[in-house]
Every structure is written in C-alpha cells, then in structure tokens.
Structure 1
C-alpha cells in the first residue's frame, strides 16, 4: 500500500514539473507575441508615414503638373506668337522683295528717261535749241499754220518738263523705297531676335520643370518600394504572429490537459489515501477483536465493534473561470453608412443612442446579448451582426466616421463576461 502511494506521489510530481515547463514555454510565447506585435505596430506606423509622404508627394506632383500644363499653354501661346512673327517676317521679306523689284523698275525707267533727255539735250545743242523752235514758228505760211506750230512747240516743251518731273519723282520714290527697305530689314532682325529669345526662354523653363518632375517621380518610386518593403515585412511578422498564437493556443490546451491530469491524479491519490486509512482502521478493529477474544474465553454475546468507514468525499469539480478571453481582429462602423438603418439585429437604435457601446459579432463565436470587454473600447454588448463579421472578427460601433477611420483595423483582446 505504501509503495502504491509513493508511485502516485511520483506521478503527481512529474506532472507538476512538466506543467512548470509548459508555463515557461507559454510565458515565452506570449513574450515573443508581444515583441512581434510591437514590431508590427512600428512597421505599420512607418507604413502610414510612408503613405502620408507619398500623398504629399502626389500633391507636389499635381501642383507641378499644373505648372507644366500652364507652361505648355504658355508655350503654345508663345509658339503662336512665334508663328505670327514668322508670318510677319515672311511678309516683310515679300515687301522687301517687292520694293526691290519696284526700285529696279524705277531705276530702269529713270535710266531710260535720262538717256532720252540726254538725246534731246544733244539735239537742242546741235539744232540751236530755242532759236530753232522760233524759226519753226516764224516759217508759218498762215495764221492757222502759226497756231499749229506754236501748239506743237508747246507740246514738245511740256513733254520735256513732264519728263523731268517724272524723273525727279521716280528718283525720290526710289530713295523712299530704299529707306523703307532698310527699316524693314532692321525690323526683321528685331523680330527674329525676339522670336529666338521667346523660344529659348520657354524651352529652358520647360526643361527645368521636366527635371523636377523626373526627380519627384524617382522619389515616388523610391517611397513606393519602401512601402512595399514594409508591407512585405508586415506580412512576414503577421505570419510569425499567427504561428506564435497557434503555439500559445496549443500550450494553453496542453496546460488545460495537464491541469486535468493533475486533478485526476490528486483525486486518485485522495481516494487511495482514504482506502489506506480505511484499511488501517479495519486492521485495528480486527486486532482489538482478537484481544477481546483472548481475554474473554467464554462470551455469551459478542458485539462486534462498529467500524467507522470514512465517507468518501466527492471529488471537487475543477473550478473554471467564467470569463473567456481571446484575440480578434477589430474594425469600426457608424450608423450613417450607406444602406444602414441605424438599428442593430437585436433592435438597438444606434442613431437614437449615438454613445452606445455595441459590437457586431459572429454569433457562433460570441453569442448575441453577451456582455464583453473589448481592449481599447471598454465594456459593450454583443448586439449586432454583419455579413463580413465571421470567425474571430468584430466591428465596434462609434458615433462618427472620423472615429471609425481613427480606429482602423487592429488586433484586440476580447473577454466574454
């Protein structure tokens, strides 16, 4: 009997040592989980900062694109102006060509008239000039002939005077055309210089803007790569977190099983101790009977002493906590979403009670009507459901969309009261 009790004690000791080892592993797993969650929180903060930086950069690029578009419009205006200047340049060239052609024609006409005048002057000199004209008049045979000859002489004299006037006018016109040509050539040079200056300035500004735009695009790609890296790291840590959670859950299950084994071993030990105590009492009773029998050889009536067998105590039911805690993924919602009536599936009017503490749950995980405590939210009632709320996922009710956005997506501890 003593040997059996010793074996039971040894088994209980081994179970206690094994339980201590499981507790250490369990605590270590929780520590690793906290470290992973903290690291994920830091990465998510960096991810948010990176996304904010990208949004700021997008705003800068949007402003820069607007500036580039403005410059493009300005460039089109300048190019239209350049084309107008080009047209004016070509028109001026045509006018210069026309003036040159007119100058050439006038010079030819002047040369021709000048030759005619030289010929007539030479004839005057040979024939005696005005004396010859007088002789022509005085040789008239009659008065009518006299009138005809005077008229003819006047016409010749008038023709020469007109020829001289036209010659002088053509020479003045040639000089004016030449002056106009020089002015147009000067205008042509100025327009050409203005044209080239406009083009150079626009190209320079556009090149500068394109350089800045390329630089900002490089930064955007760099930040996008950084965000992708953080997302990859976050995914890796989430996998590690899930693995550690499974290990913790397995350790907790093993711990519960170990506690059950300890309780069963303790109950078995108590039962065996009761049986051993009962056997000792029985042995003492038998020995007492033997002594009485030896001291009283003749006994009329023998009363066997009652042996008080110890009542077997009921094995206490293992005490289990009424609270059930586990982690869930939490989002937030409001009563003002599209298609929302504002009344929960259990009949709570959220619009009339904007400060109510209500969460949407999967009834197979958290029964509807349960009082729960949500980490970072407080005590609430499981009073709503949702098509996207499945498994270990909840949706906490908040009064405003701003609070819902601030809540975001987070992992929280939920305790069913």
Structure 2
C-alpha cells in the first residue's frame, strides 16, 4: 500500500513539475516574442524616420523648384501687368476715337441740316430769279424810287442783297467742304477704331495666354506640393501610429506580465492547497492505522487542475451590430484590409465597442478614415491589433486601457465614407504602414 501511494505521489510530482516547467518556458517564449515585436516596431520606426528625412530632403529640392516656378510666375505677372496697362491705354484710345466719331457725326449732322436749309433758300432765290427773267431789273428798281433818298436806299439794298448772295454761296461751299472733310476724318477714325479693336483683341488673347501659363505654373507647383505633403503626411501619420503602438504594446506587455504573475501566484496557491490536502490525507491515514484500521482502503483524490481557465480570453466579440456590406479582400482594384458593417437605415446611435481588452494606440481623426480608434491586444502572448474607422465620435483617448465591450464611439460617416458604417480591421501582430499583417476579421469575430 505504501509503495503504491509513493508511486502515485512520484508521478503526480513529476507531472506537476513538468507542467510548471512548460508554463515557465511558454512565458519566457511569449515574453521574448513580445520583446522582439516591440524591437521590430522600433526598427520600422527607424526606417520610417529615414524615409521621412529623405522626403524632407526632397521637399527642400522641391522648394528650390518652387522658387524657380515663383520666378517664372513673377515674370508672367509682370507681363500680365504690362498687357493690362496696354489694354487700359487701348481702351482709352478706343473711347477717345468713339467720342471723336460721335462729335464728327453731330458736326456733320448740324452742317448737313444748315446746308439743307441753305439749299432751300437758294432754290427759292433761283425760282424768284427765274420768274424775273433770270436777273434783277436794276433799272426798274432805280426808276421806281420816289425820292433821292429812296434811290440811295434801293441801291444800297441791291448791293447788300448781292453781297449776301455771295456770302451765302461762299458759306455754302465752305460748309460742304467741311462736311466732306468731317466725313473723311470719320472714315479714318472708324478705320483707326477697327485697328484698335483688333489690337485690343490681340492684347486680350495675349493676356489669356499669360493667365493660362500662370495657371499651369501654379497647378504644377501646387500638385508637386500636394503630392509631397501627402507623402510626408502619410509618413508622419504612420510614425505617430508606430510610436503610439510601441507605447501601447509596452503597456500590454506589462499587463501580460502582471497576468502571468497572477497566474503564477494562483498556481502556487493551488499547489499549497494540494500539499495541505495531501498532508491532511497522510495524517488521517496515520490516525486510521493507529486505530487498527490499517487494512481500510482509501481513495486518493485526483490532482488539482494546474491550468487556470480565463473565461472569454482570446474570444473576440462583435464590434457592432448590423450586416456586413463589404467583405475583406480586393475591391475596385484595391485591397480592402477590413470589413464594413452598415447602419442599413437604422435610426439612433449604433454602438461600436472594443472586441477585446487592450490599450488604445491612437484615437484620432484621419483624413481618409475619419474618426478612428486603434487598439493593441495581447491574447495569450499573441499581439493582435484592431482598427475601428468612420466613427461619428470617440469616447477613448491615446494610451487608455479599455475592457472588452467598452464603448469606443457611435457608428458614423466621417472621412472618405459614403453612408454611415463601421470599417473594422484586424492585424495579426503590430500594425504597419503596408498593412501586411491584416487578416479577415471574420477569423476572429462572429459573422
């Protein structure tokens, strides 16, 4: 009986020692794995910084190119200013020409009206002379005088009439010449106006070319700046995420170490309890033997389970309710690194929660993903990173420890999004800019 009891105890002790050794080995291995992953993030950050420095050098080169473009723009601006001044001067010339044409038209109209009136007067004189035989009968005028004074007056009147006729004819001739000259000048003014308008059109075309050239130069400069700043922005955003991820993973590592410490304490407590029970069993056997019951059979209790069960650990819950509107994989020629869960016309707030306990890497607004939360999880020594995008709002902050099922925000439509939905990603290991660790989230969460 004693030999059998001794063999049972020996087997149990060896099994328990082996179990502790394996657990210790697993803990060391997991710890080393986590440390290596943190180190890989640090190396990736170093590479990212090198790329960032390279982009900054390219940005400096771009600044020189920008300076050249600005000089070209300045030349175009000066040309545009000169062209605008020419257009203003040409507009003034055209305006002056138009005013002169209007003056000439008014002058011609006035002269033609006076000529027309004079023509009528001369026609009447001609008709009168025709009726009188074609000439003035000076003898009748003289003989018709009633006195010497009347004779003098009649002779003076005849002289005045003759002089007036001569004056009228001279004025008539002069004004007709003036009309011809005015018409000639107006024709020249109209030709000049036509030339000026053509020159103005040429200047405006030149101005339009200059404007287009400036737009081209500005567009080129803005595009270069936009592309470079976009690349810098992506690198800076990636660096911020990597830096925050390193901090979060260190927090998760410490939390994992704490859990392992608690598990070890629980193992020790269970071992102490087992030893106490074994000592109690031995004591009772001694008492039984001393009472003459040496032949009494006793049942050896089974060894206690040395592997504690952590309820729910490693079993992700769904981040939100709703149907999956877009699966993981390629779509529209690009990789979709997560799944989309739609709001599908529901009203009110749809909660988005953490699928597992972890540390918030980033809680921020992304130009593409809108309000975004990234969480680092440590599940049985394995690093898992989850991402929740297009949230309406965010209720957690960088570095915050969150529990499984904790509210992160409401389903929204922020960033580059068409309709309210949650974009959810799972990465096996740390997040990286290439998203090479992304996997189908349905491997981790219920459909």
Asked which structure has the greater RCO (Cα within 8 Å, sep 6+), the reply is 1
Higher strand share: 2
Name the structure with the higher helix share. Answer: 1
Larger Rg: 1
**TM-score, with structure 2 as normaliser:** 0.43
